[in-house]
């Protein structure tokens, strides 16, 4: 990939992601109002620095002193979060400038509304860099910072989410949590009139708590800048693009075809989860299943993927067979260890496969049966994940116990899936990413 | 479609689905053994007729008298369920024949094993028709019959599932339940050496509790028979084919391209759920959303679908606008009623759309926000479902509350989805089915 010069203003991004103190301007005591939700998230999630709520109507809120204006705050303010009515914002920018605040997150605003430009211009005038307007806010686990409109209970993990859309962004934070995809950061770009996705991605590329990224993109501001940003970040961290925009697809068209792009939110989260885990060195996968039927579905759909599912050779067959007391079919891939196979049988066969140098990745496909204990299966997978330096992708399909087992693994950052289709698509993205990032 | 003569032996199928008494041969007291699981399911699910467990080792099991052989049972036996070791089955078939049993479900057996033919031949010799061998059993809510290896807790509903695979079948029963897809019947075809999918589908086509069908097919026994069965059933009931088999796809190739075929278990269940609900008369959909971003994703992916998403005309725009106090974008489809829209705003706009003769179906896409109450949204959708004779497809995307709201609607048979992608695919199958079934 070609060299790209990055124009990241490090200080701005650091202040945005790691503020030491925060003013929230336009707070409210009415649940459901933006000024209530953002402040409540910020306080309850446990931001460690001082918080300065601002609203002339209140003396205190959430047992914190409330200020009439930012000018009444005597301490330094690193970051301002704006949830005030749009028409008041130019005046507030003046006060922020006078107070010496350099960075603001503007949550207020209607997406794409002309008033966004007024906000941007007033910020420029006072030397303030802004994220937004119409940002959903910012979440960063490293700073214990949840200044978003999203849910309070967020699963923490290794996936960073950058989104243009405020409402979709909130839903995505919730969806990630119920899907067991832990988040390290969420950034609402909104109208991205000032701070760009390039700057945000550059920061996250270096952020240690973030292992992979999802960028939800709806539009291209400056032709070439998104492509350059993706190229630059991709050298350092896996990235999935969530978009249905022809403009965005056109912009990224020059990039190699293995960059993961999807219009499905679940696929984006699934791939980001896989990409936040172990890297893969080749494309040779062996799948193991207790259900010939499920194995056939996986095999059938693999023909559309980049994965190689080679038939096991005789030496490998002999190695695996010793762990399977009855029947089984070892000359196919997926290997069928039969519905009678318990966790111990899986463990024996999977150890063999994970140790093989000619196997790049393993899919462990387990259908819940009356005989099986999905949670035991999950903890066996967890052990293997720790032991070996190659990806193992478990699929645990069935009822409530199976779903709980999948979620328990996902919460630990292991890319487990409830269906063969989702697992295969994610394994595919692992291989494609390894090709993309080394091209 | 051409006329097909059906060779259904009605008595056999009636006995299979509506037995008055059942013998379970090869019962066990060890949890996890097939002979334990099947009997336990049968007893606990509350089969109303007499149950005769058979195993010479026990005098009773689950407080029911246990018999040494079926010949010791003095009452009539309608249906026999066999979970005995394969090698004993020919002898048991002799006893069943002597006892006058005409139909047996053979759960025992390894898929595709030569011993299956011995079982089949012994059954033929004694005039017994068999489902299987290697059947996962049979479940039918109308008869309160759960003689399967699957889970005990099954969500009841309108989808009938016919599957060749025993282990996959068990997982599918569990998966359907956690996905909120209620089942009316589950039939394990297994090796389908005798009772065929055609016979089973013909019965289910007339079964009032079954509103749509999923057929999981791995193989074609007699060329032409599967195709004929699908054609016949399709005239009476919607059908989704779950397969990754080239042989099956080749067999069905002659049929019109709108027959839903998928290799993904979730897609199969999603489409069957949609097809179990309201029929659609055209392909003109209007989508409504509180998130412009989610709307753009839906719009983008709709270009791969058969759906028509026309831009609303001026009269429709005026009708909708009165319910949306602030902003909104009505000239696009999806219509964007903004993140501020609560359930009442949705209700107003959706009522307008559901009443319009030029709108065939509606997608109501709701992103969970701090302002929204997904369960209230769900109950509003439920009211609309009752009021209008056209499909409304809700998407409720977000965290735990959103997921619960989706499941609450699904449990009532309403095709609700957690993501735009799954909803669109299912709406697509509705339109395709209407074209397929009238072609």
Q: Give the residue, A151 or B266, on which the prediction is more confident.
A: B266
For residue A412, how far is the Cα from the chain centroid? Answer: 14
Q: Per-residue confidence at A270, pLDDT binned at 50, 70, 90?
A: very high
What is the rounded CA–CA span in Å between residue B388 and residue B3? 34
pLDDT of residue A224: 86
pLDDT of residue B388 exceeding 80: yes
User: Which residue in the set B164, B371, B421 is minimally distant from A32, CB to CB?
Assistant: B371
Question: Going by C-beta distance under 8 Å and a sequence separation of 6 or more, which residues neighbour residue A227?
Answer: A251, A252, A254, A255
Q: Give the DSSP letter of residue A312.
A: P
pLDDT in tens, A412-426: 999 999 999 999 999
Where does A10-275 sit in CATH, by number?
Answer: 3.40.50.261
User: Nearest CA to CA, how far is A298 from chain B (Å)?
Assistant: 8
How many residues does the structure list for chain B?
439
Got the DSSP string for A166-188? HHHHHHHHHHHHHTT--EEEEEE
Strand residue runs (E) in A295-422: 335-336, 361-367, 392-397
Chain segment B270-305, per-residue pLDDT in tens: 999 999 999 999 999 999 999 999 999 999 999 999
A400 touches chain B (CB under 8 A): yes
pLDDT score for A9: 58
Q: Which residues of B touch A290 (CB under 8 A)?
A: 167
Domain range list for chain A: 10-275, 285-437
Tell me if B421 and A266 make a contact (CB, 8 A cut-off): yes
From B427, B426, B435, B434, select the one nearest B267 (Cα to Cα): B426
- Chain A CB contacts of B31 under 8 Å are 370
Question: What's the gap in Å between the CA of B249 and the closest CA on chain A?
Answer: 11
Interface of B with A in 35-54 (CB under 8 A): 37
Of A45-49, A66-70, A249-253, B102-106, the one with minimum mean pLDDT is A249-253
pLDDT tens for B226-259 read: 999 999 999 899 999 999 999 999 999 888 789 9
> What's the pLDDT at A1?
36
pLDDT tens by residue, A9-63:
569 999 999 999 999 999 999 998 999 999 999 999 999 999 999 999 999 999 9
Distance between CA B416 and CA B391 in Å, rounded? 11
pLDDT (average), residues A264-273? 98
B169 contacts in chain A (CB < 8 Å): 293
Interface residue A376 vs chain B (CB under 8 A) = no
Helix or strand or coil: residue A330? coil
The whole-angstrom distance between A401's CA and the closest CA on chain B is: 9
Alpha-helical regions (H) of A67-222: 89-99, 115-125, 166-178, 197-206
Q: Which residues of B92-125 are buried (b: 16+ CB within 10 A; e: fewer)?
A: bbebbbebebbbbbbbbbbbeeebbebbbebbee
Res. B118: pLDDT tops 80: yes
- Condensed to tens digits (0 to 9), the pLDDT of residues B337-351 reads 999 999 999 999 999
Q: Does the beta carbon of B342 lie under 8 angstroms from any beta carbon of chain A?
A: no
Q: Note which residues in 45-104 of chain B have CB less than 8 A from chain A.
A: none
How far apart, in whole angstroms, are the C-alpha atoms of residue A341 and residue A334? 14
State how far residue A357 is from chain B, nearest Cα, in angstroms. Answer: 30
Contacts of A34 in chain B (CB under 8 A): 370
pLDDT band at A437 (very low <50, low <70, confident <90, very high): confident
pTM of the model: 0.96
Give the gap in angstroms from C-alpha A244 to the nearest C-alpha of chain B: 5
Inter-chain touch B171–A367, beta carbons under 8 Å = yes
Q: pLDDT for A77-90, tens place per residue?
A: 999 999 999 999 99
Instruction: Tell which residue, A167, A256, A155, A274, has the closest CA to residue A214.
Output: A274
B266 neighbourhood in chain A, CB within 8 Å: 419, 421-422
Residue A254 in this model has a pLDDT that exceeds 90: no
How would you classify the pairing of strands B183-188 and B137-140?
A: antiparallel
What average pLDDT does the structure give for chain B? 95
ipTM of the complex: 0.95
Mean pLDDT, rounded, of chain A = 95
Q: Which two tokens stand for residue A74?
A: 């005597």
> Measured between alpha carbons, how far is B98 from A95 in angstroms, rounded to an integer?
97
Q: How far lies B49's CA from each of A165, B17, B144, in Å? A: 58, 13, 10
A42, A171, A374: best to mutate for the B interface, most B CBs within 10 A: A171
Report which of residues B67 and A220 the model is more confident about. Answer: B67
Full strand arrangement of the beta sheet holding A156-163: A145-148, A137-140, A183-188, A156-163, A212-216, A239-242, A261-262
Interface test with A, best of B369, B377, B396, B423 (most A CBs within 10 A): B369
Look at residue A82 in the predicted model and tell me its pLDDT. 98
What is the structure's pLDDT at B9? 58
pLDDT digits (tens, 9 = 90+) for A333-366: 999 999 999 999 999 999 999 999 999 999 999 9
Report the chain A residue with the minimal C-alpha distance to residue B216: A293
Which two tokens mark B179?
A: 């996905």
B412-431, pLDDT tens digit by residue? Answer: 999 999 999 999 999 999 99
Residue A255's pLDDT is 86
- CA nearest to B179 within chain A: A399
CA–CA dist A340, A386 (Å, integer): 26
Q: What is the CATH number of domain A285-437?
A: 3.40.50.261
Distance from CA of A2 to the nearest CA of B (A): 31
For residue B2, pLDDT beyond 50: no
What pLDDT is attached to residue A221?
Answer: 85
Residues of A with CB below 8 A from B338's CB? 110
Is the predicted pLDDT of residue A110 greater than 70, yes or no? yes
What pLDDT does B5 receive? 40
What is d(CA B184, CA B38) in angstroms, rounded to the nearest whole number? Answer: 18
> How much is the pLDDT for B7?
46
Say if B10-275 and B285-437 have the same CATH topology. yes
- pLDDT of A383-412, one tens digit each? 999 999 999 999 999 999 999 999 999 999
Test A403 with B243 for CB contact under 8 angstroms. no
**More reliable by pLDDT, B370 or B35:** B35
From CA B204, how far away is CA B197, in angstroms rounded? 10
A300's enclosing H/E stretch is helix A292-302
Report which of B36, B277, B37, B219 is spatially closest to residue A292, judged by C-alpha positions: B219
Q: Residue B1 — very low, low, confident or very high, per pLDDT cuts 50/70/90?
A: very low
Q: Considering only the beta carbons, identify the residue of B151, B167, B264 that sits closest to A290.
A: B167
Q: pLDDT tier at A372 (50, 70, 90 boundaries)?
A: confident
The string of DSSP codes covering B138-176 is EEEGGGTEEEESS-S---EEEEEEEES-HHHHHHHHHHH
% of chain B beyond a pLDDT of 70: 98
Distance CA B335, CA A110 (A): 16
Q: Do B165 and A267 touch (CB under 8 A)?
A: no
Share of chain A above pLDDT 70, in %: 98
At A371, the pLDDT band (50, 70, 90 cuts) reads confident
Q: Are B242 and B214 in contact (CB under 8 A)?
A: yes
User: Which residues in chain B are closer than 8 Å to A339, comparing Cβ atoms?
Assistant: 166-167
d(CA B27, CA B83): 7
* Bridge partner residues of B147 (DSSP): B138
Q: What is the CA radius of gyration of chain A?
A: 24
* Among candidates A110, A218, A400 on the partner chain, residue whose Cβ is nearest the Cβ of B327: A110
The neighbouring-strand residues paired with A286 are: A362
> What is the C-alpha separation between B329 and B67, in angstroms, rounded?
72
CA distance A5 to chain B (A): 30
Q: What is the model's pLDDT at position B257?
A: 83
A352 touches chain B (CB under 8 A): no
Could B171 and A266 be called an inter-chain contact, meaning their C-beta atoms sit closer than 8 Å?
A: no
Give percent of chain A above pLDDT 90: 90
CA distance B286 to B367: 17
Residue pair A32/A21 in contact (Cβ under 8 Å)? The answer is no
The encoded tokens of residue A95 equal 């006060």
pLDDT in tens, A118-136: 999 999 999 999 999 999 9
Question: Looking at CA atoms only, how far is residue A318 from chain B in angstroms?
Answer: 21
pLDDT band at A4 (very low <50, low <70, confident <90, very high): very low
């Amino acid at each position: 990939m070609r060299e790209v010069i990055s124009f990241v203003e490090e200080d701005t991004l650091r202040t945005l992601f790691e503020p030491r103190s925060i003013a929230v301007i336009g707070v409210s005591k009415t649940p459901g109002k933006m000024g209530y939700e953002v402040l409540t998230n910020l306080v309850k999630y446990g931001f460690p620095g001082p918080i300065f709520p601002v609203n002339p109507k209140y003396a205190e809120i959430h047992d914190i002193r409330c200020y009439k204006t930012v000018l009444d705050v005597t301490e330094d303010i690193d970051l301002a979060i704006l949830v005030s009515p749009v028409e008041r914002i130019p005046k507030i920018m003046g006060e922020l400038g006078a107070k010496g605040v350099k960075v603001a997150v503007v949550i207020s605003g209607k997406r794409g509304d002309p008033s966004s430009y007024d906000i941007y211009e007033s910020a420029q005038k006072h030397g303030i860099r802004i994220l937004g307007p119409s940002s959903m806010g910012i979440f960063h686990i490293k700073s214990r910072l949840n200044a978003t409109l999203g849910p309070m209970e967020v699963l923490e993990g290794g996936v960073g989410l950058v989104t243009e859309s405020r409402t979709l962004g909130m839903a995505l934070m919730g969806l990630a949590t119920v899907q067991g995809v832990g988040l390290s950061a969420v950034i609402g770009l909104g109208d991205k009139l000032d701070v760009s996705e390039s700057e945000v991605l550059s920061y996250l590329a270096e952020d240690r708590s973030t292992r992979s990224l999802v960028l939800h993109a709806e539009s291209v501001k400056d032709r070439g800048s998104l492509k350059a940003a993706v190229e630059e970040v991709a050298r350092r961290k896996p990235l999935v693009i969530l978009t249905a925009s022809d403009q965005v697809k056109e912009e990224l068209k020059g990039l190699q075809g293995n960059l993961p792009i999807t219009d499905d939110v679940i696929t984006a989260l699934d791939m980001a989860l896989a990409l936040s885990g172990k890297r893969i060195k080749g494309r040779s996968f062996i799948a193991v299943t207790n259900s010939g039927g499920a194995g056939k579905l996986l095999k059938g759909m693999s023909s559309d993927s980049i994965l190689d599912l080679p038939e096991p050779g005789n030496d490998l067959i002999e190695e695996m067979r010793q762990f399977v007391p009855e029947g089984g079919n070892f000359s196919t891939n997926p290997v069928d260890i039969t519905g009678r196979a318990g966790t111990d049988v899986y463990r024996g066969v999977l150890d063999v496969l994970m140790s093989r140098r000619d196997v790049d990745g393993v899919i462990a496909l387990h259908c819940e049966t009356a005989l099986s204990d999905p949670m035991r299966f999950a903890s066996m997978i967890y052990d293997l994940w720790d032991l070996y330096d190659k990806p193992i992708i478990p699929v645990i399909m069935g009822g409530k116990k199976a779903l709980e087992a999948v979620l328990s693994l996902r919460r630990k950052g292991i890319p487990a899936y409830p269906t063969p289709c989702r697992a295969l698509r994610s394994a595919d993205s692992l291989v494609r990413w390894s090709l993309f990032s080394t091209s």
